[in-house]
Structure 1
């Protein structure tokens, strides 16, 4: 029986300007490979992106993070 390996995800905080407005962006990495990004549009509006494609909005950062991990596991 295989044992599950713990995988560490690194989060790097940056800022990005879109249409003249500065947003906080969390970039998610496994090793050196970028998994996706989470843009914080507002207090309860977190947009998740994989390869510049939106995969949906979420009410919390944790839900957006979970959404990216779920999509990553399905497609990698």
Structure 2
């Protein structure tokens, strides 16, 4: 039976200018590798991206982060 290993994910806050509008962005990293980012379009609109792939919109930051981690887990393991 394969043991689950714990992986530490950390985030960095930055901003991005899109079409003249500045949006907050949360970048997610495992080690030094960026696994995705979340654009904060509003109080209940968080757009998730991983490797330039649009993963969809979530209503909370936590759900958006979970989407990126699940996608990473499926493609990296």
TM-score (norm 1): 0.93
CA RMSD of aligned residues (A): 1.0
Aligned residue pairs total 76
For 1:18-57, what aligned pairs fall within 5 Å after superposition?
18-57=18-57
- SS state at 1:38 partner: strand
Aligned counterparts of 2:5 and 2:55: Cα–Cα separation in 1: 26
Query: In the alignment, which residue of structure 2 is the partner of 1:14?
Result: 14
| Structure 1 runs, 4 residues or longer, greater than 4 Å off | none
Query: In the alignment, which residue of structure 2 is the partner of 1:64?
Result: 64
Give ranges in structure 1 of 5+ residues lacking alignment: none
User: What do the CA deviations read for 1:7-49 (whole angstroms, capped 9, x no partner)?
Assistant: 1101000011000000000000000111000000000000000
TM-score (norm 2): 0.92
Aligned counterparts of 2:25 and 2:70: Cα–Cα separation in 1: 19
- SS state at 2:6 partner: coil
